Amino acid sequence: MHRRSPLFPLSSPWRGTLAAATALPGLLLLPLGCASSPGAAPREEAGPPPLQARRKWGLVIHGGAGVMSRDTLTPEREAEVRARLTESLQAGHAILAKGGTSLDAVGAAIRVLEDSPLFNAGKGAVFTHDGRNELDASLMDGRTLAAGAVAGLRHVKNPIDLARRVMERSPHVMMVGEGAEAFAREQGLELVSPEYFRTEERWEQLQRALEKEKAAGGKAPATGVSPRPEDGKFGTVGAVALDQAGNLAAGTSTGGMTNKRYGRVGDSPIIGAGTYANAHCAVSGTGHGEFFIRHTVARDICARVEYLRVPLQEAADTVVRDVLVKAGGEGGVIALDAQGAVAMPFNSPGMYRGYMREDGQPFVAIFQE
């Protein structure tokens, strides 16, 4: 068992002073941080901290929210989704278990989801009105408040990796379009042809959206109206992590909105809206991007935890189930605080989500379970 070191080493020049001091009647020297009172029992040497006092750490992920029901989601598709969510958790958790950083864990978890056609991010990105794929992502370090974000990407295989390069290797927070991709080339990140992102499922979603638009006269939605996704799902992926050193991080990645126009950018790459992390809280959101931006959803949750001192679950519930609902916004968030508490509220029928704590047991869910 580890024993407390002496207050001063035996070779210390204070040794003689200590000897003289201990000879004085009525003077009792105690190790730093100790207290005593007359008649107090001798203090036993402290053993390892109790289980509940040990530092907690873990990872939470999401794969989008929206209209999901057991009637529309086949057993085969549900099994695939749950398998990829579990793989994402395992990738991030493996890093945390080895003492890795929350930033590394968030990146690893999101890359798994970006590489899967099941989610609207990376490989599974939806199509714009012009038949292109435009990807956005952001990442934030809760320890330093450093952040990186990218938007309008067309060739970067893993946007979350470019967001980190922006954060760590540039003086900026956000880069967009061709400029962001030029930076990606300078950084040696993997670039792919536009065909890499094409999937028939997403292409068919665009065709259905175009047909509906044509039937409505081909008019864009009125000002202030945020269109609902064609498939009823807000396809964004994200992760938040707390590492063994107690540092939080958050990241989010998306393919945007089916049939979007005019270079529209949602909340996913907006720090404070779809992504935020500080020393108290980390949040990644998925839902009506315009509403998440207007109400700075991610930052609002963390501010309630930091300034109002309310529990994480209460803060997240208030913003998602009250503030957003009253505003007409739909979606959900994943959140993690510095004590390891997890919150995953959503106001839509379902949300792909999951978490893994120190015990290494993955939990994944889709519906109101």
Known binding residues for substrate: 264-267, 286-289
The residue from 74, 86, 128, 236 that is catalytic is 236
Residue 315 near residue 288, CB atoms below 8 Å: no
CA distances (Å), origin 241, targets 9, 91, 96, 176, 247: 41, 12, 9, 26, 8
Torsion angle in degrees (nearest 10) through CA of 99, 103, 106, 110: -130
- 236 catalytic? Reply is yes
Q: Which residues does 277 contact at the CB level (< 8 Å), separation at least 6?
A: 140, 141, 142, 240, 248, 249, 250, 283, 302
Query: What does the alpha-carbon distance between residue 126 and residue 198 come to, in Å, rounded to a whole number?
Result: 8
In the DSSP assignment, the letter for residue 156 is B
Q: Which residues are annotated as a binding site?
A: 264-267, 286-289
Q: Which residues pair with 332 in a beta bridge?
A: 286, 346
DSSP assignment of 24-63, as one string? STT-----TT----TTPPPPPPP-SPPGGGSPP-EEEEEE
Return the half-sphere exposure (C-beta side, CA atoms, 13 A cut-off) of residue 73.
20
Give the active site residues.
236
